[in-house]
Amino acid sequence: MTCVALAFSGGLDTTVCVPLLEEEYGYDDVIGVTVDVGQPAEEFDEAEETAEALGLDHYVVDARAEFAQLCLESVRANATYQGYPLGTALARPVIADAILEVAEEQDCTGIAHGCTGKGNDQLRFEAVWRSSDLEVIAPVRELGLTREWEKEYAAEKDLPVEGGSGGDWSIDTNIWSRSVEGDDLEDPNYVPSTEIYAWTEDPSDETEEIEISFENGYPVAVDGQEYEPVALIEHLNELAGSYGVGRTDMMEDRMLGLKVRENYEHPGATTLLSAHEALEGLVLTQEERQFKTQIDQQWSQKGYEGLIDAPLVSALESFIDETQQRVTGTVTIRFEGGQARPVARDSKFAAYSAEHASFDTETVGKIKQEDATGVAKYHGFQRRLANEAIAANADAEAVELATDGSGTGDDQ
């Protein structure tokens, strides 16, 4: 008897995969695995009801704590991709690991997902699964299915698929972000209504200030109250979302080269990333900040690709760990006009002296202001030499053209 484990959400794509894995791929048994990374409760209800209607053995794995910890690691790396926090990308390896573990426990010979051949998730899932001996199956990709075909097939088979906007849009939710794509949103010139948003209110004139505490680069408390990672993120999602923080409407470049229209909500992530970067600005030296930008970009790229366990990431995190030992302190964030804006920061590791930087003091420690005169004289010296050489050669060429007459007369 052959068995395949399916990444199961109860949505259209994964629902149609169940009979297809039996009919087209010859599997005797299909089990569904849903991994909890912070989806709404109704999604689990839908998955359970759909699995029951399909007669599908259904396993639910709670991976919220693991995923939340990875999200906080991404804060230390200031991780974004083309301007938005990595939510779906970071969740996929966590989900893939959990599904693989169930598949191996249940002696499955195959493991499957409902991703298309156009997106990123197929790559992120399979990067994890192909390290195993299980057969990797992607019915939607391999059979070239479209969403319209899936709807017709579901109707023909009387599959338990809910209608409404959930059947038109592709919505992915976890504790770090919520993404919405598909249907009218595929048109870059389409202006979506506010009904696509679930986590964020429209920005208003109301403001609020909160204080976020960090220890070694990890956010640990809000307004002095300590939180575990999951609770911290959920608290900030609700609070920042009420002020309209964390909406992104963008054209995203996927790994396969396609450009797609994406809408994201990420209020808590935006707040934490803004606060963390502000604290780094206070405690890290100029050279550390400049170099860490490169480290962060590489970490973010690997995170986007779903390759967070790559040896390169371990090497990058060695540098990140070293710098984060001083990223301890507090940042005051003001929610204002849909933004989470840092307005104050404090740390015992501050690489800053108010006395030295002040316009009201004459010296910088033992350094006098007039000591900067020599530096000012040298500053731009090569530029001045280069510009003088360019100007001198331009004048010489003008004289030569005037002397030989090549610069005058009618065109030949």
The model scores a pTM over 0.85: yes
Q: What is the pLDDT along the chain (412 residues), one digit of tens a residue?
A: 899 999 999 888 999 999 999 999 999 999 999 999 999 999 999 999 999 999 999 999 999 999 999 999 999 999 999 999 999 999 999 999 999 999 999 999 999 999 999 989 999 999 999 999 999 999 999 999 998 999 999 999 999 886 434 456 778 999 999 999 888 999 999 999 999 999 999 999 999 999 999 999 999 999 999 999 999 999 999 999 999 999 999 999 999 999 999 999 999 999 999 999 999 999 999 999 999 999 999 999 999 999 999 999 999 999 999 999 999 999 999 999 999 999 999 999 999 776 666 566 777 777 788 888 989 999 999 999 999 999 999 888 888 788 876 655 555 4
Q: Which pLDDT belongs to residue 300?
A: 98
Cβ-contact 10, 51 below 8 angstroms = yes
Q: Which pLDDT belongs to residue 408?
A: 54
Cβ-contact 387, 381 below 8 angstroms = no
Q: What is the pLDDT of residues 158-200, one digit of tens each?
A: 998 864 344 567 789 999 999 998 889 999 999 999 999 999 9
Q: Which domains does the chain have, with CATH numbers?
A: 3-166 (3.40.50.620), 172-284+326-355 (3.90.1260.10)
What is the Cβ-side half-sphere exposure of residue 12, based on CA atoms within 13 angstroms? 24
β partners of residue 272: none
Q: Which pLDDT belongs to residue 412?
A: 44
Q: Which pLDDT belongs to residue 166?
A: 47
Cα–Cα distance measured from residue 360 to residue 369, given in angstroms and rounded to the nearest whole number: 12
Q: Which pLDDT belongs to residue 367?
A: 79
Annotated catalytic residues are 13, 92, 121, 170
Q: Which two tokens mark 347? A: 């740390």
Is 172 among the annotated ligand-binding positions?
Answer: no
Is 121 among the annotated ligand-binding positions?
Answer: yes
CA dist list (Å): 175 to 208, 235, 308? 22, 10, 18
Is 318 among the annotated ligand-binding positions?
Answer: no
Within 10 angstroms of residue 52's Cβ, the number of other Cβ atoms is 11
342 — phi, psi (to 5°)? -65, 130
Is 170 among the annotated ligand-binding positions?
Answer: yes
Is 48 among the annotated ligand-binding positions?
Answer: no
∠ CA 323-326-327, nearest 5°, is 85
Centroid of chain to Cα 180? 14
Q: Is 36 helix (H, G, I), strand (E, B) or coil?
A: strand
Is 80 among the annotated ligand-binding positions?
Answer: no
Is 252 among the annotated ligand-binding positions?
Answer: yes
Q: Which pLDDT belongs to residue 354?
A: 66
Q: Which pLDDT belongs to residue 79?
A: 98
Closest CA to 37 of 2, 74, 64: 64
Is 84 among the annotated ligand-binding positions?
Answer: yes
